[in-house]
Copies of this chain bind each other. A is one copy, B any other.
Amino acid sequence: MADKKYQMDKKIGSLKYTDLLPHSQDPAVSEALLRELTNVLLDFVKETNDRNCKVLNFYHPEDLKNLLDLEIPDEGRSLQSLIDDCVKTLKYQVRTGHPHFFNQLSCGLDLVSMAGEWLTATANTNMFTYEIAPVFILMESVVLAKMRRIIGWECGDSILAPGGSISNLYAFLAARHHMFPDYKDKGQASIGAQLVMFTSDQCHYSVKSCAAVCGLGTENCVEVPSDEKGRMITSELERLVLERKSKGQIPFFVNCTSGTTVLGAFDSINEIADICQKYKLWLHIDAAWGGGLLLSKKYRHPRLTGIERADSVTWNPHKLMGTLFQCSTIHFKIDGLLLSCNQMAADYLFMQDKLYDVGYDTGDKVIQCGRHNDIFKLWLQFRAKGMSGFELHMDHLMAMAEYLVERLEAEKDKFYLIMKPELVNVSFWYVPKRLRGVPHNKQRIHELAKICPILKARMMEAGTLMVGYQPDDKRPNFFRSIFSSAAVNKADVDFMLKEMDRLGKDL
């Protein structure tokens, strides 16, 4: 981004915030600032979508500090200086919507969702009451009801939360409240014994975090072993439930992951639901990552078969659906539970003698007070894409993952595919020249793992590509490429492999 491009009219550029609305009554200066900003942002959008532009300009933190002026001044700066700040910020920002960014579960830059977020910012409101967010409250109820119907429920209740971790926390709280209604007022003392929850060892770490936050202790979040594909071994779940019961503890909550973070595995919902039914346990499905596949006839089954048997479901549109970060939803089969669980009855906010039907106020259902408007950007996407557009999107992402698998298998000398995934997470090692044709044993895996951080560093320094790596409990470091951006096509997959080879073959 050539910094000199964004020059406001000299006189206007030298003005300050005191010349903007509402400090000054003349809207022309405000308009000039926002139009210049729009130019800056439009160019960033174009560069994000331009394969000739880099994904990032990497600098180490200490170097970046020297390149930037982040100081908080005593006296405010000029409007031109604010525009310069914006330009510089974007210059060093990673383009998470670039077609060569395969690094994160949330990526892509969906322009309709972005337009929605610009409007959301401008409308600057808070989702706690119909009084100050009438349209957005109605949108929330329409979209969430639709999502519940997609899950397979005609009734129920839902809310948008600031991220999947907090959504999972809502599920935990509702389960505890439903099964032990005295807990809210009296705490752990109201139950004689230790509460215990269960989840696979591949689950998102926020599930374990619930146990820490809510006072169970992480040792009472039992990690059920998973199979080689990353799916919970359900016979082990039953064994562990019985083991804890025999100690006089109270199992009450099982988290089933639909799309694990690293391998993209789907736990078997029906098998887990049978165990939950047998032992009267709350079944929560963390489909934060995999939930998007509910929108695809081709991929929904068998991965999410049985999801309607859950008591609660987390589903993050900001992942597979490409909604701008953040947009996470949590759904409950039982209506009224969110309110009775979280209600603190703040009578300064949720008065019952208001002008309108206060059943529309959502604020007393949540553990936050204020709640950001995360619905408009999602609703606008639904309007733009329709159900069919989202289905095409899911099928495209899965097709890209399948294409990468195919390409990795075709280039067996240079790449080692770890497994065929059930989702858009493709796990593999890159094989540099010196390790090609060598037997794939513990020693070679050790060497391939050592290469990951070095090759990743080279990608970032070159700025041409970003693919994540991590270890898991079965293997050391390996690459995990994610497809959740609509920008990626087959040529980009080809580029990924070629570029990894260019940067890594000598390692």
Contact = CB atoms under 8 A, between A and B. Distances in A.
Contact of A76 (B59, B119, B146, B388): B388
B388 A112 contact: no
A11 interface: no
A121 B122 contact: no
10 A-B pairs with the lowest CB-CB distances in the bound complex, closest first: A215-B215, A187-B217, A348-B470, A22-B487, A162-B162, A117-B121, A355-B457, A205-B344, A76-B386, A188-B188
A179 interface: no
Interface residues of A, number: 165
Contacts of A258: none
A115 B58 CA distance: 25
Interface string A113-137: 0110111011111100011111111
A385 interface: yes
A164 interface: yes
A504 to B, nearest CB: 14
Nearest to A142: B70
A89 B119 contact: yes
A336 interface: no
B387 A17 contact: no
Contacts of A187: 188, 194, 211, 215-217, 219-220
A31 interface: yes
26 contacts: A22-B486, A27-B46, A27-B49, A33-B111, A41-B118, A41-B122, A60-B357, A61-B130, A64-B135, A65-B138, A76-B385, A93-B123, A93-B125, A93-B133, A93-B135, A93-B136, A94-B134, A104-B132, A125-B325, A166-B367, A183-B217, A184-B218, A187-B216, A262-B348, A347-B470, A348-B472
Contacts of A480: 348
A419 interface: no
A369 interface: yes
A87 to B, nearest CB: 10
B119 A37 contact: yes
A383 B45 contact: no
Contact of A139 (B18, B20, B70, B485): B70
Interface stretch (A231-239, A370-378, A397-405, A429-437): A370-378
B103 A132 contact: yes
Given A93-B123, A103-B131, A209-B342, 5 more contacts: A37-B115, A61-B138, A89-B123, A204-B369, A354-B457
Given A35-B38, A164-B369, A124 B134 contact: no
A389 interface: yes
Interface in A183-198: 183-190, 194
Nearest to A470: B348
A355 B76 contact: no
Interface in A329-351: 342, 344-349, 351
A19 to B, nearest CB: 11
Given A72-B387, A75-B386, A213 B42 contact: no
Interface string A41-63: 11011100100000000111110
A97 interface: yes
Contacts of A114: 121-122, 124
Interface in A307-345: 318, 324-326, 342, 344-345
B124 A96 contact: yes
Given A111-B33, A134-B93, A106 B27 contact: no
